[in-house]
């Protein structure tokens, strides 16, 4: 014991020392790492700023010199050469300054006239980009064709009086010039750390290994993950390894003027050499201190722990006595203990022994309670340890395995190879700390192959957060799965409702052109399923006879009211009766932009009304086969007739309904809501209304018709009630409203949606005080594309054109297709016309670059745009006027040569996008 105590003291001292040293060293290393990284990044940033300043000053110098050349307007190359040689001070900033004509030929040279006419740089990217953009730039690094030096060129264009490029000034700088990059070789990070510079494309500009200059940084193993990350845009410091696998600190910053990446590499062993030495010393000191403390503790413990030997003998005696002697005798022995420290310890030990026995009894009781709870849960509950050995199973698991002993056995042995192979990956995930939920079929070998189970695998974490096992709870969800399958089948059936409802459904615009029709409506109009509706009107679809009956109701419907009325028409050689519903379609301003037509065949109902005197059997045979709930209500509001539909809708057999009051069958809430309609019908008025019916957890939308039973004596004897299920029709009605505002080819809003949107946009502009612009666009020569390449290619061009338009505008802007190749853009929240011009220029460029490719064929597509700019104040233009102005501007853009945009001018003209003067607004 003395030895163990001494070793324990030494271990405690050692652990405490190591812990303190570890925390201190961690803080020191963290601070030093942050300090070194910050210093390294500061150096890199300073160098990047210095490069930016040097390039910016040289660009300003070259731009100033170009301005003086432009003012001189030299007509001869010899005079230009003489003028250049007078400015020898340019050599302080450049290794050479040269003038290049538009063919790339050297026409003047600061290093002398010997090379004039012998050098051509037309193929150099920096020359081509300067001519194309008419703006100066800093070139990518390149190798001089005459002297082989690595160089970079700063260019500036010299314009003539017409604003066209006449010359390109090229100022060449050698990359090893001490004024630009040469000082990098003098900067060292530690002994072996260094700085380097690359372009964003990975071309080395400067490097300690000169063989890498002008080569790709990835070549020769140089493309480390940190450098590749910097090429992707990262700026800052990070840790990694160099191409030799040595840990190092990296820092990166960008020189914005040349778009170069300045990087630094500092080996970690050099950066942290001091703290590593401190760490080694700390470990040696901690070990020496622990050994000294252990030796001292051994000497002290031998002297101080002698009384514990007596206490140890007493404890052994007490434990043996508690096993052999009765509990009361042990209690009596406690009274003879001496009243000193050892006696107190002995009494405390006896009390602890008694408490332990009490805890063991309590744990046994708690375990019994837990098992009762687990056995009562309607699930199979078990627990396995980290070795997949069962430590607990409830009664449901035991019953599944015929009450065989499972605790202590391995899961693969209990579940069998086939079933264990299914759950093993999920148990491994749970042992890794993840909570897993799976659905699986039962094991056929256990007789549950036809059942479906949901298993929850929950990691069992100890106090340290370590996974020491897995709890498993498995529920039988067979009935739930059956319900899900039934719901899925029902959803599939509902998809066919649109074409299966017993009604004619159509949608027409204000000009009575048909935009949608279901299968029954197509059959009535004589149109096949694939025949387009274009050219079909309300008159042509219904025929002259039905249209003449419907025409008087159109003004009422266009006033914004729903209209429902009967019509008569020949049906299979006899008179047919139809219930027609006209439902107006309104925009956000309440304007009727179209209407829905729904027609129900009520011939059977009419014939039933005309043949009331026929026998009950014949009436029931008719009504029981109708897709409606039909009842007869007498003057006392009692039901005297109900068809078979009451069994499906109300859950009541027709015989159970007869003689009962309406309130008793439908419930008080429904009765109170329908009582006014019942009173009107009993007064002799035909009443129609829509109602919702809740039954069995589902909702049904019905069209209810109360027809008064007025007989020859003029008295209303009762009410015929007809309830039609229009739930599916309501779904179709909602979908038709959405489809009517969408262009099916491009997926963009169509003319209907645009006509609703534009007036609202004009109103918003007036309310918010922000300007807006309306652009009218079409595809140049689109008819030629259709005629020469076919309509399939034309449709593909329209689709791609719409996609590019959407890519040029904000998510809040509207893009719509009006018809054919006509498109519109609505831009809101603008401050000036220039903002609309920027978007229009972007659209023109995006349309013809890159070229359209359809089925491997290149299609050259351009667009013309007319713009109507609308200020929020000082303008009272309407939506129609804006559209007319944009149309005029589009016409003028096409007249000016197409592939451009033009603004509508208040004087009636337009201003084209290619005018040499600045636009005035």
Q: Which residues pair with 286 in a beta bridge?
A: none
Is residue 717 within 8 A of residue 711, CB to CB? The reply is yes
**pLDDT higher than 80, residue 547:** yes
pLDDT at 98 over 70: yes
Query: What's the confidence (pLDDT) of residue 324?
Result: 58
pTM of the model: 0.35
In Å, what is the CA distance from 173 to each residue of 179, 184, 616, 684? 10, 16, 109, 103
DSSP H or E segment with residue 119 = none
Cβ pair 687, 597 in contact under 8 A: no
* Mean pLDDT lowest among 477-481, 704-708, 792-796, 858-862: 477-481
Across the chain, mean pLDDT equals 83
What pLDDT shows up at residue 918?
30
Query: Worst-scoring range by mean pLDDT, 320-329, 488-497, 779-788?
Result: 320-329
**Segment 326-363, tens digit of pLDDT:** 444 444 444 566 676 667 776 777 777 777 777 767 77
* Per-residue model confidence as pLDDT tens digits over 25-44: 777 777 777 887 888 788 88
Other beta carbons less than 10 A from residue 406's beta carbon:
19
Cα atoms in the 13 Å half-sphere on the side-chain side of 238: 16
Confidence bin at 919 (pLDDT 50/70/90): very low
**The pLDDT value given to residue 905:** 83
Residue of 869, 906, 901 lying closest to 771 (CA atoms): 869
417: confidence class by pLDDT, cuts 50, 70, 90: confident
Distant-in-sequence, close-in-space partners of 499: CB < 8 Å, separation ≥ 6:
518, 519, 520
DSSP string of 150-205, one letter each residue: EEEEEEEEEE-TTS-EEEEEEEEEETT-TTTTGGGGG--BTTTBEEEEEETTSBEE
Helix ranges, 667-750 (H): 668-682, 727-739
For 153-192, letters b (16+ CB in 10 Å) and e give bbbbbbeeeeeebbbbbbbbbbbbbeebbeebeeeebbee
**Average pLDDT for 804-826:** 95
Range name among 33-37, 365-369, 656-660, 683-687 with the lowest pLDDT average: 365-369
Range 441-458 average pLDDT = 85
Percentage of the chain beyond pLDDT 90 is 28
Task: Reply yes or no on whether the pLDDT at 303 is more than 90.
Answer: no
- The Cα–Cα gap between 876 and 872 comes to 9
pLDDT band at 688 (very low <50, low <70, confident <90, very high): very high
Residue whose tokens read 């159509």: 506
CB 501 within 8 A of CB 729: yes
Tell me the C-alpha distance between 648 and 629, whole Å: 9
Confidence of residue 719 (pLDDT cuts 50, 70, 90): very high
Give the C-alpha separation, 403 to 218, whole Å: 67
- Would you call 714 helix, strand, or coil by DSSP? coil
| Cα(529)–Cα(687) distance, integer angstroms | 37
Q: How far apart are CA 781 and CA 729, in angstroms?
A: 44
The count of C-alpha atoms lying within 13 angstroms of the C-alpha of 647, restricted to the half-sphere facing its C-beta, is: 7
- The pLDDT of residue 13: 67
**Cα(822)–Cα(887) distance, rounded to whole angstroms?**
10
Rounded to whole angstroms, the Cα distance separating 226 from 252 reads 9
């Amino acid at each position: 014991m003395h030895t163990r105590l001494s070793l324990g003291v030494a271990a405690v001292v050692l652990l405490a020392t190591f812990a303190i040293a570890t925390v201190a060293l961690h803080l020191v290393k963290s601070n030093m790492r942050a300090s070194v990284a910050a210093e390294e990044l500061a150096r890199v940033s300073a160098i990047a700023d210095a490069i930016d300043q040097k390039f910016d000053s040289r660009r300003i110098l070259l731009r100033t010199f170009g301005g003086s050349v432009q003012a001189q307007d030299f007509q001869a190359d010899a005079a230009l050469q003489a003028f250049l040689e007078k400015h020898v001070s340019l050599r302080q900033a450049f290794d050479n300054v040269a003038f290049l004509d538009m063919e790339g030929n050297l026409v003047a040279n600061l290093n002398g006239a010997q090379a004039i006419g012998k050098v051509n740089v037309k193929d150099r990217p920096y020359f081509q980009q300067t001519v194309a953009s008419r703006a100066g730039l800093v070139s990518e690094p390149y190798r001089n064709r005459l002297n082989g030096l690595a160089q970079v060129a700063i260019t500036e264009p010299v314009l003539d009086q017409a604003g066209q490029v006449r010359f390109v000034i090229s100022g060449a700088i050698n990359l090893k010039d001490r004024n630009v990059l040469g000082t990098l070789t003098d900067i060292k990070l530690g002994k072996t750390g260094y700085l380097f510079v690359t372009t964003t494309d990975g071309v080395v500009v400067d490097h300690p290994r000169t063989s890498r200059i002008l080569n790709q940084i990835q070549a020769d193993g140089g493309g480390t993950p940190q450098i590749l990350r910097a090429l992707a845009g990262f700026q800052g410091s990070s840790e990694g390894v160099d191409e030799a696998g040595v840990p190092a600190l990296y820092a990166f910053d960008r020189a914005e003027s040349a778009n170069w990446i300045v990087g630094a590499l500092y080996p970690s062993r050099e950066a942290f050499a001091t703290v590593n030495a401190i760490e080694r010393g700390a470990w040696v000191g901690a070990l020496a201190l622990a050994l000294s403390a252990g030796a001292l503790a051994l000497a002290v413990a031998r002297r101080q722990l002698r009384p514990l030997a007596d206490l140890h003998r007493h404890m052994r005696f007490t434990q043996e006595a508690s096993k052999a002697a009765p509990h009361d005798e042990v209690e009596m022995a406690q009274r003879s203990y001496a009243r000193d420290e050892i006696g107190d310890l002995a009494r405390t030990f006896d009390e602890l022994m008694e408490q332990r026995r009490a805890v063991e009894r309590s744990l046994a009781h708690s375990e019994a309670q837990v098992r009762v709870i687990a056995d009562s849960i309607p699930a199979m509950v078990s627990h396995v340890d980290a070795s997949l050995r069962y430590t607990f199973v409830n009664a449901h698991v035991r019953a599944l395995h015929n009450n065989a002993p499972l605790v202590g056995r391995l899961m693969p042995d209990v579940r069998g190879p086939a079933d264990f192979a299914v759950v093993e990956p999920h148990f491994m995930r749970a042992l890794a700390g993840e909570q897993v939920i799976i659905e699986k079929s039962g094991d056929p070998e256990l007789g549950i192959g036809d059942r479906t189970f949901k298993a929850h695998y929950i990691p069992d974490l100890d106090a340290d957060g370590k996974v020491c096992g897995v709890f498993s709870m498995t529920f039988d969800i067979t009935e739930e799965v059956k319900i899900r399958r039934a719901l899925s089948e029902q959803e599939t059936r509902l998809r066919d409702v649109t074409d299966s409802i017993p009604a004619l459904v159509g949608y027409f615009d204000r000009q009575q052109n048909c935009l949608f029709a279901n299968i029954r409506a197509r059959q009535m109009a004589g149109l096949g399923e694939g025949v387009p509706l274009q050219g079909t009107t309300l008159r042509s679809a219904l025929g002259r006879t039905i249209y003449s009956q419907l025409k008087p109701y159109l003004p009422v419907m266009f006033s914004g009211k729903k209209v429902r009325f009967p019509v008569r028409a020949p049906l299979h050689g006899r008179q047919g009766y139809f219930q027609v519903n006209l439902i107006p379609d309104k925009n956000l301003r309440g304007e009727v932009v179209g209407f829905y037509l729904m027609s129900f065949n009520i011939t059977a109902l009419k014939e039933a009304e005309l043949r009331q005197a026929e026998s009950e059997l014949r009436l029931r045979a008719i009504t029981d086969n109708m897709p409606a709930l039909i009842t007869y209500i007498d003057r006392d509001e009692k039901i005297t007739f109900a068809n078979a539909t009451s069994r499906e809708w109300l859950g009541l057999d027709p015989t159970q309904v007869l003689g009962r009051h309406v309130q008793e069958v439908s419930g008080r809430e429904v009765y109170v809501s329908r009582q006014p309609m019942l009173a009107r019908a009993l007064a002799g008025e035909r009443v129609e209304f829509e109602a919702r019916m809740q039954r069995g957890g589902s909702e049904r939308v019905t069209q209810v018709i109360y027809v008064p039973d007025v007989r020859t004596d003029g008295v209303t004897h009762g009410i015929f009630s007809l309830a039609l299920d229009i739930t599916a029709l309501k779904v179709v009605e909602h979908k038709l409203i959405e489809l009517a505002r969408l262009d099916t080819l491009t997926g963009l809003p169509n003319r209907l949606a645009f006509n609703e949107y534009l007036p609202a946009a004009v109103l918003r502009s007036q309310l918010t005080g922000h300007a807006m612009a309306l652009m009218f666009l079409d595809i140049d020569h689109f008819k030629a594309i259709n005629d020469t390449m076919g309509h399939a290619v034309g449709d593909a061009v329209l689709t791609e054109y719409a996609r590019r338009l959407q890519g040029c505008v904000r998510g809040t802007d509207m893009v719509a297709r009006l018809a054919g190749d006509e498109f519109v853009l609505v831009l809101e929240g603008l401050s000036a016309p220039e903002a609309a011009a920027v978007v229009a220029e972007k659209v023109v460029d995006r349309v013809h670059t890159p070229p359209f490719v359809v089925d491997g064929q290149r299609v050259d597509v351009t667009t013309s745009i007319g713009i109507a700019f609308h200020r929020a104040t000082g303008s009272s233009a309407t939506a129609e006027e804006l559209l007319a102005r944009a149309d005029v501007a589009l016409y003028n853009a096409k007249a000016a040569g197409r592939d451009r945009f033009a603004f509508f001018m208040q004087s009636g003209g337009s201003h084209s996008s290619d005018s040499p003067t600045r636009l005035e607004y």
